[in-house]
A and B are shown apart, each in its own frame.
Chain A
């Protein structure tokens, strides 16, 4: 009996290590492309194949990054940008969810606003910037507006889609039980739309973050986007790259963080992993 138990434990630990090997393999697969890119970057810059005024070496970018970080400059610019993103995103998410809900629930509202949505949505961010400057000037409000527009559409469309794709079969259950309209809305439509709304929020904050550089092209004197523009004007390529990479990394962190949150809050919508 004792022996058997021992054997089982051994097998379990084998299975575990197999699981560990699989995990290691998956990890290797996800990091292989970036590692390769950095390696090539390292080679072409250190052998003089590419001019360092166009592409500084990775070690130069890293040391610039450290000096920016230790001087506190990076932190200040990042937090200023981040607050701008949050302000624009909060507005975009709120309006996106409210208008999206109205359009999802009411065919009339959907018809009235639908045309406007299809006209306005394809307008690229860069085309909005001059208009927003005309309307709002070059202060904070036009920067917030750029980020607002950047995050609004994906929240809006995903909210509409989430509500409209509520399972007819579940709606029939509520109809058979003679439920009130408020129960339909708050207990059936909205919960079933939540995963889609959350996806909209995730896409929204990601695109808000990518819009920040555009927004900080408008007469900014601070922020990560400003830092990048300014560094380019001063011909400091290492600083440009450090800033660009920072934006990418923070974007990944925001997205992954929200994904984890989504899986935790809406665990019912996901198949349990072994």
Chain B
């Protein structure tokens, strides 16, 4: 067992030392070993040993003193050391099984012993210093601030400097506790150090300290808090200096660097880089700025200034207790809430509170003020002159219609009979009969006074246009049916005239040098179809005809073929049965033509322009420019100097031919397309009829004085026709001698207004 022996040898000094220090415990240990085989008991012994050593720490001084007194001989120690192995050997002999553990214990103890050795060495050097002593003690405690409970399961507690485990000192059981309680006179002053698991017997000094702390007194009774003050560095000037070194020169010379620094600041102040702190003057915050009323010094800007409009003052509805009618109904509240905030007429809802105390705070107060602020500085301002106009002043003062009579005012008669849209009508120059044609393919003669249909002539196609020959010596009427013009004898009026007319037509003899005609003239013979109805001549054209119109003499008549290209206007001469086309070239879509009442002029209206041709000289006289987009109709004043033009874009233009090529006046009285315009032959009246179902009669006085402009006054708006399928009144014509007007419209009636 060399190894063991070596171990034992190693162990020797330690155990020796232990015994030296704690002889009683050793004995105890031996006893314990003897009495019990269990490990616990050994541990107990160990623990107790440690405990004891700790317990006895306080009595170090005494023991140390003793050892010093003894002479502090190492020899004595050695002696004791020598004794120790024997004992250990005994132990090992006694029980092998425990040996290893013992070794371990020994090692542990060795660790402890080494520390203790060090301790002792130090103690020897500074035997009086207790605080040092405690420091040393703390050195043993190497677990730091770890909770002690963590070591509960282990036999050791912490590690020493060499990394070896520090074993827990053995603790006594209940019985030991009790015994010590009974026997130990120091039991009451023994406390257990949790950190090291050792019991510490408190000294008198410590007890005193605890006592004073418990009584809330200054803890350290030993340290007198009121010790006399020792003035180490006395303020009393000594007579003799400690050193006799003379004061350095620098003490007497102003510092250059300081001077430089100061000069820097001075310069900064001079140059205004550093401003001295402003003195807080007691100048009053507000003073009189409007001293005298200085009205003289106003900036030019003052006049440019546009003051912001003031906020609207509240009305009754904003009251906290408004009249009941201002309170909104539920529907109104709902509508208000659904509205966009910007569209709302008011930014609040009127509400009633029975007393002032119930009125809550207004949520949008700040918001409203803020919006006002925004308005003040962000809204562009503009000076606007508020028009304070009396609306009655805006309406022009016209001569009273009463003074401009006569003119048709009321509907007198309605001529029923047509079974479709009545397209056209014409009045006989004597003013007794009326002829009308329409979409029901009939031509009807009416007696004006009795509204009786005298005769109905059936055609193959709808009657587009009809014109009564203006000559009183002829009883003829020109009727347009698709692409033919039918010249018919009316058989109304004087019998002689009728027969004379018939004779005139039948007596025609074609000239010898008959040329190829543009239009084929064919006479309807006595037995032929239609002769009985009065049809006498049929002029067959190449294209559909829009309009037929007579010259005032009654010999010439003209037709308009809108699709006829260069043949769109054809002038026929009845007496010679001759046709001619005045224009070699088409000038646009021709709408209507008119003969000048006196001169041999022809007025041709295209979509936008009206051209005046001199037929005898064969030249263009004038080109009138209407503001209308699409001319529908045209009429010439009996004087021949003024014309009116109606258009599909609701306008009626009055041209003074001598005055200008532009309209003298444009009237936009109608709400829909103007279909027909017409002048009265005797009275200063003109009329326009439109698709809105109205006829407007205007007073249009033309003065013989060239300097005076025509007077145009609307005098009457006639209603009666019912618009059907977007068509209203399609044609109108004045009575040749009376201030009456005939109209025909889409409601298949002809009406007379007187």
Please say whether chains A and B are actual partners in one complex. no
**Chain A residues within 8 Å of B, Cβ to Cβ:** none
**Chain B residues within 8 Å of A, Cβ to Cβ:** none
